[in-house]
Structure 1
Amino acid sequence: MGASNVKWVRLGDYIEQCDERNSASINYPVIGINRDKTFMPTVANLDGVDIAKYKIVTKGMFVFSGMQTGRDICIRIGLYDNEQPALVSPAYTTFVINDDKKVLPEYFFMYFNRAESDRYGWFISDSSVRANLDWPRFLDIEFPLPSPDEQQKVVNAWKAFREIKEQNEAKAAPLMQVCQSYIQELKHTYPLQEIGPYIEECNERNLEGKFAEQDVRGIATSKGLIETKANLDGVSLNSYKLVKPKEIAFVPDTSRRGDKMSLGLNDSDKTYIVSSISAVFNVDKENILPNFLYLWFCRSEFDRYARFNSWGSAREAFSFEDMKRCKIPIPPIDVQRAIVNIYKCANEAKQIAEEADRLSREVCSALLQHVINS
């Protein structure tokens, strides 16, 4: 706290616990809290569960769970901002700010939406197996309390990023749905053809060592080329395969990947390298756009097809020869291009939303640090 003029206060003096039960058994949606402090539909099996015991959450209320705080290094807390009420498990604690003229709910949430707060929660959690953060100990946490005007400035900056995120998510979702609907309809409009005649395996290696560690990419089950997480100390990259622009790479081994195939399209203008166990191929662009073929591979149906057609014992594999036998509808190039353009618009909106979400978290920490030091 040092020379800061901002006072630190005990949060228990500014919040009030709520315990409104769903005694009328109203069929509100049941939700839980993610580690990123957002709400999600419950994954619990509610068959035979008496929802009359569940707690009602309304707009402006907080939901808190101190369970496994130390294990996850995360204080699970969320600010509910939907107009429709929801239900949460009786195991959650629900509370409100007792005077929102002194403490803005969004400001309070921002303080806990930081890695620093999560680490502190881990530090003060108990020594049980689950390392819980008990409610009484949570109440004793102190937080910086500037003037309401200063709080509002911080909240406004944070909200600006959140609005960008939400607006672009709202754009991306229907566009993605339209894109997948068009792809689904193609199966009923055009005959299915094996892609073998339209793809060619590539086996160009990094023999001269032109490409270095920063050019290495991993292949994700989320269908993308990502910065590698592998420890490459002492590893020779000479045998690694080149993935040139518009080429597709995949991992033939389909075991232990959650029934998803690791595959990615190099949609950049750079050449990357991938592990020698990967398969790399290019596409006959006059008949199939690489991005269109990639969209087909992104479907869950393709993942199931690849798993079903994998072979082996301890390790199952889907080889390039198996890939060649995959059948898809091949519409005219202009139809393919239209679908790809819809996807690109959706993906651009999605990426903007993800970047805004990341920045909102960074800004959250930076703004609060400014408040603390002011």
Structure 2
Amino acid sequence: MKLNYKLGELIRNIYVKNKDLHCNNLKGLSMTKEFRASTSNIVGTDLSKYKIVAYKQFACDFMSAIRVHKMPIAFNSEMEEILVSPAYAVFEVIDENIILPEYLMMWFRRSEFDRYADFRSDAAIRGGYGWNELCETEIKLPSLEEQRKKVQAYKTITDRIELKKKINDNLEATLTAIFKKMFIEDNTISFCNKKLYELTETIDNRGKTPPNNNIETPYPLIEIASLRTDGRIATYRNCSKFVTEEVYNSWFRSGHPKQKDILMSTVGSLAELKLFWGDKGSIAQNIVAFRCYDNNLPMYLYQYLLRKQHELAAYEIGSVQASIKVSQVIEYDIAIPPKELLDSFDKISTQLTELIYQNEADIDVCHKLSDTLLQRLTLQD
């Protein structure tokens, strides 16, 4: 069996348009190399020009590599067809007796592949990494049996990740339903209104970026990418910058977030909200934390602000980059229920949030295992 190939020998371009409009399952591509729900407004759009991605086919956005230094490639592992932008390339494996499409997707997920695509984008005369460059990319293949073993090992890990995500989704839905039943649907409750600044102090280290690097330490620098995720807890695995213990202990003028602090983004993706859970992590540019004076208020306040997220985002001041003024946000009115209801909700939501946190920790471990498995593919190259 031949081991060394160029991808052009293993894949072929597919160009099937949605001519009869039979498919409306429009998707985009994420930086995590997955299909995601499209945010495009398709009202009045001619979907007959869009491309079909069938079962076991790939879609790729070549235009992103030079902009975001990643190559968004996604694999359709479901029987349902997917509709993607006509700007994307769609392709498939020519012969599954040589390479399994699932193995190829694992190969695309490697950080080494993104670095290579980024390098080729910068090195190209016109800039960019396109179909021709992809086809010229070299790959060394193990036997089909070895490919199957690696695919199965990877699937075992990713299946556990998906299971934990579903459990957390159910816990999130449960918390939302409890909040709605206790505080929205019950018309007998008497609320009092207070300003956000009366209820919280603000942890604000914005203005200057602390010394940091991408070498992992126990002190992650939480940025907006860690808030722009599903769920209520800041996602540590999305942290790409870290500070040293010395910087952590000396640099941050307002201190650090503590458990149950509410994190909010103030620039770019506005009013993204997350709870800080755990004991280590720092915030600086583009994020502030609100710390409640009442220990039984944070879980209610987080859920309350989440329901009002669009109103908080409306505090945008209008500048080159979207941003909101914290001094305006803290004037926001908060409806506070009686203490006994706060205590009850805090107890329930704290318990369920702790379960979510434990599941997130398990997911983090699984991601590290999957990253290790993907890195080992390089040993075959």
TM-score range, shorter chain: 0.7 to 0.9
Which runs of 5 or more residues in structure 2 are unaligned? 204-211, 213-217, 228-232, 318-322
In the TM superposition, residue 41 of structure 1 has moved relative to its aligned partner by: 2.1
- Pair 1:92-2:122 in alignment: no
1:352 corresponding residue in structure 2: 362
Q: What letter is aligned with 1:39?
A: F
Q: Structure 1's 340 and 48: CA in aligned 2 closer, same or farther, altered over 3 A?
A: same
Deviations 1:160-206 (A, max 9, x none): 221111111122222212211221331332332346799776799xx
Counterpart of 2:374, as a letter, is C
Q: C-alpha distance in 1, partners of 2:280/2:191?
A: 32
Residue type at the aligned position of 1:164: R
Distance 1:116 1:158 in 2: 17
CA distance in 2, matches of 1:271, 1:91: 39
Equivalent position SS for 1:63: strand
Please give the alpha-carbon distance, in whole angstroms, between the structure 2 residues aligned to 1:87 and 1:151: 29
8 Å contact 1:201–1:279 — kept in the other structure?
no
The one of 349, 359, 364 aligned to 2:374: 364
Q: Aligned pair 1:135/2:148, yes or no?
A: no
CA 1:48–1:369: 2 relative to 1, 3 Å:
same
Kept after mapping to 1: 8 A contact 2:223/2:283: no
> Structure 1 unaligned runs (5+)?
205-212
Instruction: Report the alpha carbon displacement of residue 81 of structure 1 after superposing the two structures with TM.
Output: 0.9
State the aligned residue count: 346
- Distance (whole Å) between structure 2 residues aligned to residue 165 and residue 329 of structure 1: 37
Q: Which amino acid aligns with 2:86?
A: P
Deviations 1:306-363, CA, capped at 9 Å, x for gaps: 86599xxx9833379747x522334163343223323333443344335433542342
Q: What are the within-5 Å matches in structure 2 for residues 1-374 of structure 1?
A: 7-125=3-121, 126-128=124-126, 131-185=127-181, 186-189=183-186, 190-194=189-193, 222=227, 237=250, 240-241=253-254, 246=259, 248=261, 256=267, 258-260=269-271, 265=276, 267-268=277-278, 281-285=291-295, 288=296, 290-297=298-305, 299-301=306-308, 304-305=311-312, 316-318=325-327, 322=331, 326-330=334-338, 331=341, 333-365=343-375, 367-372=376-381
User: Under a length normalisation based on structure 1, what TM-score does the superposition of the two structures give?
Assistant: 0.74
Identity value in percent: 21
Which has more radius of gyration? 1
**TM-score normalized by structure 2?**
0.73
Structure with the largest fraction of helix: 2
CA distance in 1, matches of 2:31, 2:289: 35
Cα distance in 2 for residues equivalent to 1:239 and 1:73: 30
Indicate the SS of the match to 2:308.
Answer: helix
- Supply the AA of the counterpart residue of 1:317: V
Ranked by relative contact order (alpha carbons within 8 Å, sequence separation 6 or more), the top structure is: 1
SS, match of residue 146 in structure 1: coil
CA-to-aligned-CA distance 1:272-296 (integer Å, 9 cap, x gap): 8989x978645434xx254444443
**How far does residue 85 in structure 1 lie from its aligned partner after superposition?**
1.0
Q: What are the Cα deviations for residues 34-93 of structure 1, in whole angstroms up to 9, with x where unaligned? A: 222111122333232222222221221111232242333222322111221111122222
Alignment partners' CA distance in 1, 2:282 and 2:41: 44
Displacement after TM superposition at 1:303 (Å): 6.5
Q: Relative to 1, partners in 2 of residues 1:137 and 1:341: Cα closer, same or farther, differing over 3 Å? A: same
Counterparts of 1:17 and 1:261, CA distance in 2? 39
